[in-house]
Chains A and B, each alone.
Chain A
């Protein structure tokens, strides 16, 4: 078996590769222990064994456990979900024991992953609408509920994508999305009185419920990362609250 080229790099270069890989993982929504584990594995391949890595949903730190040792830090401000990137970086880290590329090439590969263009917004809007529509059927609705939930999710995601350049907080986004879905369904009901409103709203709101934050939070707790687990659980509660407030506002006006 060929020896990994990581062993012949300088410490700073190895740390830089590890941090960039960890950054991509965290921004794509991986769990804390996976990020830390990947960074430590890369460092061990580079011949550094006294390394500490710490990661929360908003900060990554990695450094040597010595006085003069180098350390790097990265602040994460905007997180998304990209399972493809998680899969790719995970695959890459498993190939590290027999890695054959130079520092520049490795960084170029990682750089390409960070700079990768997001897919067109219309695709995301369409799939979000479809997800909401299918959920209305899963919850027990028919064709009418499917149409209402599809329209609601579609419009709300279109709105979220339209305001995305202004970088609003995710809490505000989900609140507005909940209000838009509710409004769409209420208007739809005026046209077709047969519509079961709760199925359509609950289905349409599904893309905004924090299933991912919840799952990752539990897995973080399980791995012993209490800080990250608490952060993510708090995020999940806030997002659910945001959606509920959005819907409640519209319903409150309706019931007046």
Chain B
């Protein structure tokens, strides 16, 4: 199968997977497909950077998380919902489940160095995701406070 087709299929299925997770987390019906879209954006950016451009897994995870967090912040303001409604199902496709499984499998097969290698890279992926969440939620806070400050200043002038 050509690379583009694989990426396309994976991205489409990440939408369905996120919707299924939204159902599992009892996401409100009206937000289900929006949450699915958020998940698809995050995973799409990740897989395109990883497979398409050949960037490192850590960097692609970071970029994917930033994309989906920004998307969920925008949606949260747009549809007047709390941010977790979109970001919690949306982050799930990026969780490094496969590397963690591989790390455990290597350790079970007594290949400790290989297991540690995989485990550390999975942990770094998780750190990259954490950094992405941190960055965007920090920026959102700055935006919120600055908007409030501007509003207060205008009130003071009047």
* Interface residues in chain A, defined as those with a beta carbon under 8 Å from any beta carbon in chain B: 30-31, 34, 81-87, 90-91, 94, 119, 124, 127-128, 130-131, 134-135, 137-140, 198-199, 201-203, 205-207, 209, 211-212, 214-216, 218-219, 221-222, 240, 244, 247-248, 251-252, 255
Contact with A along B140-151 (1 / 0, CB 8 A): 010000000000
CB <8 Å contact, B81 and A87:
yes
Q: Identify 19 residue pairs between A and B in the complex whose beta-carbon atoms are under 8 Å apart, listed by A's number.
A: A30-B82, A34-B84, A83-B25, A83-B84, A86-B82, A86-B84, A90-B82, A130-B16, A131-B24, A137-B10, A138-B14, A138-B17, A206-B97, A209-B97, A212-B25, A215-B91, A247-B104, A248-B107, A255-B108
Q: Which one, A135, A221, A248, contacts B17 given CB within 8 A?
A: A135
B130 at the interface (CB under 8 A from A): yes
Which residues of chain B come closer than 8 Å to A215, judged between CB atoms?
A: 84, 87-88, 91, 133
Q: Which one, A30, A31, A127, A138, contacts B24 given CB within 8 A?
A: A127
CB <8 Å contact, A84 and B84:
no
Which residues of chain B come closer than 8 Å to A131, judged between CB atoms?
A: 17, 20-21, 23-24
The count of A-to-B residue pairs whose CB atoms sit within 8 angstroms is 140
CB <8 Å contact, A138 and B93:
yes
Which residues of chain A come closer than 8 Å to B113, judged between CB atoms?
A: none
CB <8 Å contact, A202 and B133:
no
Bound form: Cα–Cα A82–B89 in Å: 12
CB <8 Å contact, A134 and B20:
yes
Task: Report B125 CB to chain A, min CB distance, Å.
Answer: 12
Bound form: Cα–Cα A201–B14 in Å: 17
Which of B95, B107, B134 counts the most A-chain CB atoms under 10 A from its CB? Answer: B95
Q: Which one, A85, A207, A212, A221, contacts B88 given CB within 8 A?
A: A212
CB <8 Å contact, B100 and A240:
yes
**CB closest residue in chain B, given A197:** B105
Task: Report B57 CB to chain A, min CB distance, Å.
Answer: 13
B38 at the interface (CB under 8 A from A): no
Bound form: Cα–Cα A252–B109 in Å: 9
CB <8 Å contact, B98 and A202:
yes
CB <8 Å contact, B137 and A90:
no
CB <8 Å contact, A86 and B85:
yes
Q: Which one, B95, B129, B137, contacts A219 given CB within 8 A?
A: B137
Bound form: Cα–Cα A33–B120 in Å: 31
Which residues of chain A come closer than 8 Å to B52, judged between CB atoms?
A: none
Task: Report A94 CB to chain B, min CB distance, Å.
Answer: 8
Q: Which one, B43, B92, B104, contacts A248 given CB within 8 A?
A: B104
Which residues of chain B come closer than 8 Å to A86, judged between CB atoms?
A: 82, 84-85
CB <8 Å contact, A127 and B101:
no
Which residues of chain A come closer than 8 Å to B158, judged between CB atoms?
A: none
Bound form: Cα–Cα A205–B126 in Å: 17
Bound form: Cα–Cα A244–B104 in Å: 7
Which of A34, A87, A139, A209 counts the most B-chain CB atoms under 10 A from its CB? Answer: A87
Q: Which one, B24, B89, B105, contacts A128 given CB within 8 A?
A: B24
CB <8 Å contact, B109 and A255:
yes
Which residues of chain A come closer than 8 Å to B137, judged between CB atoms?
A: 218-219, 222
Which residues of chain A come closer than 8 Å to B23, judged between CB atoms?
A: 127, 130-131
Which residues of chain B come closer than 8 Å to A212, judged between CB atoms?
A: 25, 88
Bound form: Cα–Cα A211–B129 in Å: 11
